[in-house]
């Protein structure tokens, strides 16, 4: 059979081999790779092809499990299981097994993309085992149908799925009952709940509730203006801040330390709890609102500067002006796409003593690590945490030192 024969809408009987990046699984059929959703390694399933562009692979959806995995459990969200609501693509698997799959993905990404052969276990956030990884999301987004129904999109579509519960959201968001009400002439609803008790939501772009939220981590308070970024998992900020402090061992207080993609200053504030108010550090963030928050949140640090600029533009200017990063520690917390070659090359040129990379995508991370190691940096420590239970996402922290 030709590899280019179109299998669109064809039903296939498949044996699942392994997990792949993106929350999907790998099978092979008649010489082609088939990426299959909502299954698990070792399962035998009947799946229907929903995308085939005629290449060496196609994509399929499980429609019947013929031989279930021993790790398959009752789905944590009925609407995701029965109606296809997006946002819990691993919800049919035991929580500890989800982390093993994420560990597999990280191991393969590091090996294939960066040449780093190391198995790093993805660890649970403390407390998640007691809740089965439910009730952790402090930020959610719902879409609204033409009929006024609020809910998540169905996977791979813009169809809104009506839901009776939001099992991944914190109790404060569920208690609002926004997902149970009718919303005429509305397109999107965003809700944020703070650890200090505040709650904020947007009906399209109209703000309701608190105009600013206050969060706390490592004993410090952080102001977050409307629409500002904060970690989604209720325990993530404290956990990541603690990890940053530990990985920063040896930081030189007087060096030109940088907190790139620094947001409202969480990691700089965390470092101040260890190194004191004389810490010299600059936060760089493209959002002017977040930069203003960072300035207010770190006002007690006499040598802190908050810069509103794209990271690559800031570094280009610093290189031109002869910034000295010898002895400096740089925190790098880029978006899902990663820092990218330009930023990594700029940092490598400036030669900071240590880089602490916080990544939410293992493939982007591995690509950037390859560039760093080719420029003389050595991977010192890698740690990973399951900040997004019942999804394929997780967070990885890497410390690199200049050889």
Q: Which residue has the tokens 């952790």?
A: 136
Residue 158 in domain: no
pLDDT beyond 70 at 4: no
Residue 321 in domain: yes
Residue 81 in domain: no
pLDDT beyond 50 at 1: no
Question: In this prediction, what percent of the chain has a pLDDT beyond 90?
Answer: 96
User: How confident is residue 139, by pLDDT bands cut at 50, 70 and 90?
Assistant: very high
Residue 333 in domain: yes
Rounded to the nearest integer, the mean pLDDT of the chain is 96
Do 114 and 45 share a structural domain?
A: no
Do 338 and 283 share a structural domain?
A: yes
Q: Catalytic site residues? A: 360
**CA dist., res. 15 & res. 42, Å (int):** 7
**CA dist., res. 150 & res. 71, Å (int):** 32
List, in order, residues 6 or more apart from 195 with CB less than 8 Å away.
Answer: 138, 215, 216, 234, 237
Whether this model's pTM surpasses 0.85: yes
Residue 151 in domain: no
Number of domains in the chain: 2
Do 280 and 353 share a structural domain?
A: yes
Do 110 and 28 share a structural domain?
A: no
- CATH number, domain with residue 24: 2.40.50.140
Cα–Cα distances (Å) from 79 to 71, 75, 115, 157, 163, in that order, read 20, 9, 40, 15, 6
Task: Domain of residue 56: give its range.
Answer: 11-70
If one counts every other C-beta atom within 10 angstroms of the C-beta of residue 115, the result is 12
Residue 386 in domain: yes
Q: Out of 70, 89, 120, pick the residue that ends a domain.
A: 70
Residue 167 in domain: no
Per-residue model confidence as pLDDT tens digits over 87-130: 999 999 999 999 999 999 999 999 999 999 999 999 999 999 99
If one counts every other C-beta atom within 10 angstroms of the C-beta of residue 324, the result is 12
Residue 76 in domain: no
Do 123 and 63 share a structural domain?
A: no
């Amino acid at each position: 059979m030709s590899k280019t024969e179109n299998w669109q809408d064809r039903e296939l009987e498949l044996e699942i081999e392994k997990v792949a990046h993106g929350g999907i699984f790998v099978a092979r059929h008649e010489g082609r790779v088939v990426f299959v959703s909502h299954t698990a390694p070792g399962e035998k399933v009947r799946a229907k092809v929903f995308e085939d562009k005629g290449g060496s692979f196609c994509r399929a959806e499980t429609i019947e499990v013929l031989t279930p995995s021993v790790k398959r459990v009752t789905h944590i969200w009925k609407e995701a299981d029965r109606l296809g609501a997006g946002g819990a693509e691993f919800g049919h698997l035991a929580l500890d097994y989800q982390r093993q799959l994420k560990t597999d993905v990280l191991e393969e990404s590091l090996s294939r993309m960066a040449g780093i052969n190391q198995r790093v276990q993805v660890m649970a956030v403390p407390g998640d085992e007691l809740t089965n990884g439910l009730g952790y999301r402090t930020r959610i987004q719902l879409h609204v149908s033409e009929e006024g129904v609020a809910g998540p999109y169905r996977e791979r579509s813009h169809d809104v799925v009506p839901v009776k519960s939001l099992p991944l959201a914190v109790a404060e968001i569920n208690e609002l009952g926004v997902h149970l009400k009718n919303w005429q002439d509305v397109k999107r609803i965003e809700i944020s709940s703070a650890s200090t008790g505040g709650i904020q939501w947007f009906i399209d772009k109209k703000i309701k509730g608190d105009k600013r939220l206050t969060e706390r981590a490592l004993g410090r308070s952080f102001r977050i203006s409307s629409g500002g970024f904060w970690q989604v998992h209720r325990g993530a900020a404290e956990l990541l801040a603690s990890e940053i402090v530990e990985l920063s061992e040896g930081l030189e207080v007087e060096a030109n330390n940088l907190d790139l993609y620094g947001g409202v200053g969480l990691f700089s504030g965390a470092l101040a709890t260890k190194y004191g108010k004389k810490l010299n550090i600059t936060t760089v963030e493209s959002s002017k609102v977040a930069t203003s928050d960072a300035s207010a949140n770190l006002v007690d640090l006499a040598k802190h500067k908050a810069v509103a600029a794209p990271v690559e533009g800031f570094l280009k200017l610093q290189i031109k002006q002869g910034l000295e990063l010898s002895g400096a520690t740089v925190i790098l917390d880029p978006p899902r796409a990663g820092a990218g070659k330009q930023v990594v090359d700029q940092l490598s040129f400036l030669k900071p003593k240590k880089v602490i990379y916080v990544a939410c995508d293992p493939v982007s991370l591995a690509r950037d690590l390859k560039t760093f190691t080719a420029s003389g940096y050595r991977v010192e420590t890698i740690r990973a945490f399951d900040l997004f239970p019942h999804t394929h996402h997780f967070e990885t922290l890497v410390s690199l030192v200049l050889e």
